Amino acid sequence: MHTPFCIHKCHYCDFNSHVFKAPPWQKYGDALVKEILAYAKAPQFAGRSVSSIFFGGGTPSLAPASMFADVLQAIGDSFVLESDAEVSIEANPGASDACRFEGYRRAGINRISIGVQSFDAKELKFLERIHSGDEAIKAFAMAKDAGFDNINLDLMYALPHQSLAQWFTSLQQAIALQPQHLSCYQLTVEPNTQLFVTHKKKQLAFPDETLALEFFWQTRKQLAEAGFAAYEISNFAQLGKHCQHNVGYWQYDDYIGIGAGAAGKWDDDQQGAVRYTNIRSPQTYMNAVHQGDSAINFREDLAYAEAMGEAVWLGLRQSEGLNLQRFAMRFGQAVEIVYPVLLRQWLGQGLMETYEKVGQSYLRLSDKGLNIADDITASFLHA
């Protein structure tokens, strides 16, 4: 579920977010509900159970709890919402208040992800965040006080001029708060962002490759020591606290995307898959939904072979790798039969490995392979 409104658009952000002084919450919430009711009737989703919900943004923590209550009500009414379903919300420390957090909890949200990014004032300023380090700590406390016992903190590293020591100060501060989950992303200059333009003009001093690798591996080491296991390239959790929703993306599960710029995916009946993205402009999106039109403005139909490539690519992002039984079940063919040459190449070079875990076999990237994950995973894509 995407909430595309922000107080300020940070220069590195390439998500669908728009600065609104007073977002039209009622109208937007109504559109979300309308979309849910429509999907409940779509043959590929009708009657299915929902195991996770993610309210992302934008800044969903700007929205009144009532909007989420309405949406969750609609989901409960139209689908089978599993009793232990994970329901997450993203919160900006600069747009958080205790009262609203309690409201979210009461509405049925049971996991909160706080966009801390850094505790360092200079770094926060560079990132154009609207909050301070103290506000981040306060937001965490508020979430705990509101009854959240599954909290994630988002952090960013490898910023221009950032030293390893500076990064570890922020990382240790985050660990000290004892969240259940940490997402640590290397700052990436994405096309179509303000940062992209600035970097092109000024050539910002991002860490070189050697240092970036140091950041990457040291982060894993420190987090492992603190009890956070890496379960994906940038995601770490205490035992059993993986984000079920995100894991679904990497395991090639179906998901419905609702809201402006939201994306969804479902398996089609030809063993391929469909991906779609909604209209990005909030206004255009709401108008379309309220007129009873489809909110989808991009759709791609992935053929069988393309879907297989995606499943391998996404699966390999996980630390446990691609579950080979699941793959064979989903596609009717073993991965070794579909990609004999690539597997021989990557396994032979020691960039991939296979292993068994509780009766299941997996294919994963080796540590060496993880460094160049894109080169390896892209080779399976059907381009």
Angle between helix axes 164-176 and 209-225 (nearest 10 degrees) is: 20
d(C-alpha 81, C-alpha 70), whole Å: 14
Q: What are phi and psi of 127, to 5 degrees?
A: -75, -5
Shortest distance (Å) from residue 264 CB to other proteins: 9
Cβ burial of 314 (10 Å; 0-12, 13-18, 19+) is: middle
Among 37, 42, 213, 334, binds other proteins (CB under 8 A): 213
Query: Please, which residue, 38 or 373, has the CB nearer to other proteins?
Result: 373
Shortest distance (Å) from residue 255 CB to other proteins: 8
Query: Please, which residue, 118 or 246, has the CB nearer to other proteins?
Result: 246
On whether the CB atoms of residues 198 and 126 are closer than 8 A, the answer is: no
On whether the CB atoms of residues 379 and 342 are closer than 8 A, the answer is: yes
Report which secondary-structure segment, H or E, holds 107: helix 98-107
Count of chain residues binding other proteins (CB under 8 A): 45
CB-side neighbour CA atoms (13 Å) of 38: 18
- Encoded one letter per residue, x for contact with other proteins by CB under 8 A and - for no contact, window 223-262 reads ----------xx-----------x--xx------x---xx
Which span (22-30, 64-72, 169-177, 365-373) binds other proteins, by CB under 8 A? 365-373
Q: How far is CA 137 from CA 99, 122, 149, 228, 319, in A?
A: 17, 17, 15, 19, 29
Among 164, 226, 263, 328, binds other proteins (CB under 8 A): 263
Which span (94-102, 105-113, 211-219, 281-289) binds other proteins, by CB under 8 A? 211-219
Which span (36-44, 109-117, 180-188, 194-202) binds other proteins, by CB under 8 A? 180-188
Among 15, 25, 168, 266, binds other proteins (CB under 8 A): 15
Long-range contacts of 131-134 (CB under 8 A, 24+ apart): 131/92, 131/93, 131/94, 133/173
Shortest distance (Å) from residue 359 CB to other proteins: 28
Shortest distance (Å) from residue 324 CB to other proteins: 21
Eight-class DSSP state of 8: S
Point out which residues bind other proteins (CB under 8 A).
Answer: 2, 15-16, 54, 56, 185-188, 209-210, 212-213, 216, 233-234, 246, 249-250, 257, 261-263, 265, 275, 277, 298, 300, 310, 313-314, 317, 349, 351, 370-375, 377-379, 381, 383
